[in-house]
């Protein structure tokens, strides 16, 4: 529980800082928003430290609830 709170808190602080100070990373003609990198890094740390596992993520993404993330994404395409 403590690990998840710490990782989430640090990720939130870094996310806000990255949006304010470094909104985009440019490499040649390609550019990427830093909030994506920070969010993915926080999620990867949670996976690596065992806070969440792939089975829980898979169940959450494919559940039959009314708030299914995949179904919501499909609405926008």
pLDDT at 9: 95
Domain total of the chain: 1
Q: How far is CA 24 from CA 21, 27, 39, in A?
A: 9, 10, 14
Q: Which domain holds residue 36?
A: 2-75
pLDDT at 39: 92
From first to last of the 77 residues of the chain, give the pLDDT tens digit: 899 999 999 999 999 999 999 889 888 888 988 888 999 999 999 999 999 988 988 888 888 877 777 888 888 88
pLDDT at 56: 86
pLDDT at 42: 93
pLDDT at 8: 93
| Number of Cβ within a 10 Å radius of residue 7 | 17
The whole-angstrom separation of Cα 64 and Cα 22 is 38
Q: How far is CA 36 from CA 18, 56, 63, 68, in A?
A: 10, 22, 24, 21
């Amino acid at each position: 529980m403590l690990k998840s709170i710490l990782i989430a808190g640090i990720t939130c602080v870094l996310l806000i800082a990255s949006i304010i100070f470094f909104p985009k990373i440019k490499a040649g003609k390609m550019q990427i928003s830093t909030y994506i990198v920070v969010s993915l890094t926080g999620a990867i740390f949670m996976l690596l430290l065992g806070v969440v596992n792939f089975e829980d993520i898979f169940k959450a993404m494919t559940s039959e609830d009314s708030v299914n993330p995949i179904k919501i994404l499909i609405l926008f395409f």
